[in-house]
Chains A and B, each alone.
Chain A
């Protein structure tokens, strides 16, 4: 296995690269003050999906456990934030952190039994878990409002500032998330979970505590997904179970992951970008056929770019456009 570090401006010198990063930062910083509110919302949505897809990437792309039902942590994060803010009157950021922690703890606790299942059984188990939690939340009327949903306090900022706030919160979490995944990919822990993906038994033999590694990977994944859910709840100010535990959300996350490239740092970002912005374009112009077009896109992706767009850049011709650098990494030992 070889991982590709994608640097858009590969061979240029370090100062120039820093300037490029600074330019990107300024661009991202300016969007909420120059673009339409609608595009700010689209971008915020994009960051949100980046967080969730990177979350899935940790457990699925790196560890090899396809947690299709990962959206359950999104829902948990959203509900914890909502309940803490509206019922207990907590400050948003405190509620948000707690939401991430609860989601992570939930993943850790359930990870032990559920991560015992393998392959597609795990896929099914996570879907079942999501449905189960959704139903439980719908029935805890006194705490969650049940099927009636729950309203959050409405932030008292003027719209522009308000949405810029959510834009930056999402952006910040997305950046942290991508950075964590980047560090992860080079850490001992990262090699460990990749080893599990390649051959779990072998990893165990080599002395990796596979159960603990898997559970921790899922915890991390759930933590970020929960954060995204928490911000989402405050951003929308009204949530209900079918919306935040939506399986279609989950499938969309995997589409983005596959399109971008599993087990890569930037794959999820690219995949999310294409799907989100392409989606906007499609339903702006062909509302009648939006589902069909998305469906066709899905089929084309699976048939023709199964390794994801990041892989495509390795290809010689196109690779030159981006200039990729290959980093050799230790190969998982095969027995």
Chain B
């Protein structure tokens, strides 16, 4: 995967791989989609290897990192790419998750891939509606309007109890491991792999988009909307397109969440999800897919560590329950204070400093 909004075309690649140093020219000669797909393939291998080492226990956690990564990558495209701040990203995850659950419950004969396509289509349509309604808004006004979307939407699940299951949500059973892999991988490992396969495929597409004309237009708008408009870039349309892509990515992430967890409840899409997503993105670093990856890892693992820590130290119930959120907030504040460019920027600076020695 190449960086979403990198100013220079970095020859960077998969989650943990770098191209062999002897081949950088050959690598650069490849077309961008091919490079991104290769990077995604390498990343999938890394994930598989990680899964093989850690086993069934971390599979669900890994799947969580996967779909969170996708949701954040969509948000990254919107915020880092076109400079629009959406606080309602969780709403699109909710739309995707409920679409997925309803499809599995009411049209059980459809294969997973079809479901995922429908999920993307539905959340893209929602993105069109919201994006068109908010196209003229900027800065805090867009943030405010999308925020209220994130808060208002779970109300619908409560209101139409029969269809959406109210506060208990919906429980679904999806197909498990295919027969030929029976005994080789567990169900949760298989689900984690399916999630990551989908996520990486879509990320390769997102990286290609942001490396192309649309990405350049979005960055021009982010840097100076007036100047972009005067150079003939269709500002309104580009912003709406960015919003739609981000919504579709968020919706797909929600669909994958429903698939991986097997349950969908309105409370998992509460206000705090949307706020955590945007905060995590800044924590990870605005402007690159790496930032989105660190953000996803931080969201999932800070919570895990905090819970482990609280249990290990035998802290009281109140402390235990609130430690994850406090830890996330403290880490966020400290990173912003000392690494204004987020974890990705901080790590890069650190690497440069070591390289200079």
A binds B: no
